[in-house]
Structure 1
Amino acid sequence: MKLEKILDKLGSIEKNSFIKIIDNIISKNPRNIKEINKILSSTDKGLKSVDNQNISTIFELTEKEFQEQINCEFQEITSQLDLLIDIIIRDGNCIMKQDWFSRLYENEIKHLKTKIKNLNADFDKDTSELSASRVRDYKIYKACLQTAYYNDVDNNREAKITSDELSIILTLAHQLDLSQEEEKLINYSILPVKKLEIQEVIKSLKNIGVIFYSNKENTIYVADEMVRMLRKVRQQEVAEKFYRRTLKLLREPIINQICKDHNIDRKLSYSVKIEEIIKEGVSFTNLLLEDIYKVGGNLTDKKKTLNELCEKGLGISNLKGSVLEDKISSLIEHFENVERDEKVGISIDGFDKLLTELNLSLPKLNKQIKDQFELQDEYVLKADFLLDYNIKPRDILDLIEKENLTKFIKDNGVKQRGDDILNILEHYKDVENLYLENYENVAYRNLNLLKENGIIVKESELGLKFEELTSFIFQSLGFNVDEVFKNELNTKKDMIDILLNLGNDEVIIVECKTSKERGYNKFSTVSRQLKSYQNVALKNNLRIVKILLVAPEFSDDFVTDCEMDTEMNLSLITASTLLNISDAFKLSKYKEFPHVLFRDIVINEDRIIKALSK
Structure 2
Amino acid sequence: MKLEKILDKLGSLEKNSFIKIIDNIISKNPKNLKEINSILSSSDKGLKSVDNQNISKIFSLISSEFQEHIKCEFQEITNQLDVLIDIIIRDGNCIMKQDWFSRLYDDELKNLKSNLKDLNTDFEDEKSELSISRKRDYKIYKACLHTAYNNDKINNRDAKITSDELSIILTLSKHLGLSQEEIKLINYSILPIQKIDIQEVIKSLKNIGVIFYSTKENTIYVADEMVRILRKVREKEVAQKFYRRTLILLKEPIINQIAKEHNIDRKKSYSEKIEKIINGGVPFTNLLLNNIYKMGSNLTEKKKTLNELCEKGLNISTLKGSTLDEKINSLIEHFENVERDEKVGISIDGYDKLLTELNETLTGLNQQIRTQFELQEEYVLKADFLLDYNIKPRDILDLIEKNDLNSFIKEYGVKQRGDNILNILDHYKDVENLYLENYENVAYRNLNILKENGIIVKESELGIKFEELTKVIFKDLGFNLDDTLKNQLNTKNDLMDLLINLGNDEIIIIECKTSKERGYNKFSSVSRQLKSYQNVALKSNLRIVKILLIAPEFSDDFVTDCEMDTEMNLSLITASTLLNISEAFKTSKYTEFPHVLFRDIVINEERIIKALSK
Q: State the TM bucket, normalised to the shorter chain.
A: over 0.9
* Aligned-partner residue type, residue 356 of structure 2: T
**Is the CA contact (8 Å cut-off) linking 1:520 and 1:553 kept in structure 2?**
no
Alignment correspondent of 1:526? 529
Q: CA deviation at 1:524?
A: 4.1
Q: CA deviation at 1:270?
A: 0.6
**Is the CA contact (8 Å cut-off) linking 1:17 and 1:207 kept in structure 2?**
yes
**Is the CA contact (8 Å cut-off) linking 2:260 and 2:266 kept in structure 1?**
yes
* 260-269 vs 561-570, which moves further: 561-570
How far, CA to CA, are the matches of 1:150 and 1:460 in structure 2? 67
* 19-28 vs 523-532, which moves further: 523-532
* Closer/same/farther in 2, CA of residues 47 and 358 from structure 1, 3 Å limit: same
How far, CA to CA, are the matches of 2:208 and 2:36 in structure 1? 21
**Is the CA contact (8 Å cut-off) linking 2:489 and 2:536 kept in structure 1?**
no
**Is the CA contact (8 Å cut-off) linking 1:495 and 1:533 kept in structure 2?**
no
**Is the CA contact (8 Å cut-off) linking 2:3 and 2:225 kept in structure 1?**
yes
**Is the CA contact (8 Å cut-off) linking 2:521 and 2:557 kept in structure 1?**
no
How far, CA to CA, are the matches of 1:553 and 1:91 in structure 2? 32
Deviation track 1:254-275 (CA, whole Å, cap 9, x = no partner) reads 1111111222111111111100
**Is the CA contact (8 Å cut-off) linking 2:254 and 2:291 kept in structure 1?**
yes
Deviation track 1:399-419 (CA, whole Å, cap 9, x = no partner) reads 111111111111222111001
Residue aligned with 2:213, SS: strand
Q: CA deviation at 1:602?
A: 4.1
Alignment correspondent of 2:455? 455
* Closer/same/farther in 2, CA of residues 461 and 94 from structure 1, 3 Å limit: same
Residue aligned with 2:501, SS: strand
State yes or no: 1:298 paired with 2:266: no
* 482-491 vs 343-352, which moves further: 482-491
Alignment correspondent of 2:109? 109
Q: CA deviation at 1:243?
A: 0.9
* 519-528 vs 260-269, which moves further: 519-528
* Closer/same/farther in 2, CA of residues 494 and 155 from structure 1, 3 Å limit: closer
Q: CA deviation at 1:194?
A: 0.8
Alignment correspondent of 1:153? 153
* Closer/same/farther in 2, CA of residues 442 and 61 from structure 1, 3 Å limit: closer
State yes or no: 1:165 paired with 2:165: yes
* Closer/same/farther in 2, CA of residues 440 and 291 from structure 1, 3 Å limit: closer
How far, CA to CA, are the matches of 1:150 and 1:601 in structure 2? 64
How far, CA to CA, are the matches of 1:82 and 1:562 in structure 2? 51
Q: CA deviation at 1:482?
A: 3.4
* 286-295 vs 31-40, which moves further: 31-40
* Closer/same/farther in 2, CA of residues 321 and 501 from structure 1, 3 Å limit: closer
Deviation track 1:17-42 (CA, whole Å, cap 9, x = no partner) reads 11222222222223333333333333
Q: CA deviation at 1:559?
A: 5.3
* 253-262 vs 128-137, which moves further: 128-137
Alignment correspondent of 2:133? 133
Alignment correspondent of 2:345? 345
Alignment correspondent of 1:84? 84
Alignment correspondent of 1:313? 313
* Closer/same/farther in 2, CA of residues 563 and 194 from structure 1, 3 Å limit: closer
* Closer/same/farther in 2, CA of residues 513 and 165 from structure 1, 3 Å limit: closer
Residue aligned with 2:573, SS: strand
**Is the CA contact (8 Å cut-off) linking 1:358 and 1:408 kept in structure 2?**
yes
Residue aligned with 2:609, SS: helix
Alignment correspondent of 2:54? 54
Alignment correspondent of 2:377? 377
**Is the CA contact (8 Å cut-off) linking 1:489 and 1:536 kept in structure 2?**
no
* Closer/same/farther in 2, CA of residues 125 and 34 from structure 1, 3 Å limit: same
**Is the CA contact (8 Å cut-off) linking 1:537 and 1:544 kept in structure 2?**
no
**Is the CA contact (8 Å cut-off) linking 1:496 and 1:533 kept in structure 2?**
no
* 139-148 vs 191-200, which moves further: 139-148
**RMSD (Å) for aligned C-alpha atoms:** 2.3
Alignment of 1:250-329 (within 5 A): 250-329=250-329
Q: TM-score scaled by structure 2?
A: 0.93
Alignment of 1:98-497 (within 5 A): 98-487=98-487, 495-497=495-497
Q: CA deviation at 1:486?
A: 4.5
**Is the CA contact (8 Å cut-off) linking 1:499 and 1:508 kept in structure 2?**
yes
**Is the CA contact (8 Å cut-off) linking 2:242 and 2:335 kept in structure 1?**
yes
Deviation track 1:299-332 (CA, whole Å, cap 9, x = no partner) reads 2111111111111111222533332222222222
How far, CA to CA, are the matches of 1:60 and 1:195 in structure 2? 34
* Closer/same/farther in 2, CA of residues 536 and 69 from structure 1, 3 Å limit: same
* Closer/same/farther in 2, CA of residues 233 and 603 from structure 1, 3 Å limit: closer
Deviation track 1:107-147 (CA, whole Å, cap 9, x = no partner) reads 01111111111221222224322223322322222222222
* Aligned-partner residue type, residue 211 of structure 2: I
Q: CA deviation at 1:508?
A: 3.7
* Closer/same/farther in 2, CA of residues 50 and 120 from structure 1, 3 Å limit: same
State yes or no: 1:13 paired with 2:16: no
Alignment correspondent of 2:93? 93
Deviation track 1:386-411 (CA, whole Å, cap 9, x = no partner) reads 12111111111111111111111112
Alignment correspondent of 1:510? 510
How far, CA to CA, are the matches of 1:444 and 1:280 in structure 2? 39
How far, CA to CA, are the matches of 1:57 and 1:489 in structure 2? 42
**Is the CA contact (8 Å cut-off) linking 1:494 and 1:532 kept in structure 2?**
no
Identity %: 79
Residue aligned with 1:573, SS: strand
How far, CA to CA, are the matches of 2:332 and 2:507 in structure 1? 53
Q: CA deviation at 1:252?
A: 0.3
**Is the CA contact (8 Å cut-off) linking 1:519 and 1:553 kept in structure 2?**
no
Q: TM-score scaled by structure 1?
A: 0.93
* Closer/same/farther in 2, CA of residues 178 and 552 from structure 1, 3 Å limit: closer
Structure 2: 5+ residue stretches without partners? none
Deviation track 1:404-444 (CA, whole Å, cap 9, x = no partner) reads 11111112221110011111111222110111122233334
How far, CA to CA, are the matches of 1:58 and 1:567 in structure 2? 35
**Is the CA contact (8 Å cut-off) linking 2:303 and 2:324 kept in structure 1?**
yes
* Closer/same/farther in 2, CA of residues 537 and 595 from structure 1, 3 Å limit: farther
How far, CA to CA, are the matches of 1:513 and 1:59 in structure 2? 29
How far, CA to CA, are the matches of 1:553 and 1:307 in structure 2? 37
Structure 1: 5+ residue stretches without partners? none
Deviation track 1:531-588 (CA, whole Å, cap 9, x = no partner) reads 24414642xxx55544444344455666566566666555443433322221111010
How far, CA to CA, are the matches of 1:325 and 1:564 in structure 2? 52
Deviation track 1:278-316 (CA, whole Å, cap 9, x = no partner) reads 111112121112111121221211111111111111122
Q: CA deviation at 1:516?
A: 4.4
Q: CA deviation at 1:177?
A: 1.9
* Closer/same/farther in 2, CA of residues 155 and 321 from structure 1, 3 Å limit: same
How far, CA to CA, are the matches of 1:59 and 1:399 in structure 2? 33
Residue aligned with 1:612, SS: helix
**Is the CA contact (8 Å cut-off) linking 2:531 and 2:568 kept in structure 1?**
no
* Closer/same/farther in 2, CA of residues 234 and 568 from structure 1, 3 Å limit: closer
How far, CA to CA, are the matches of 1:563 and 1:305 in structure 2? 57
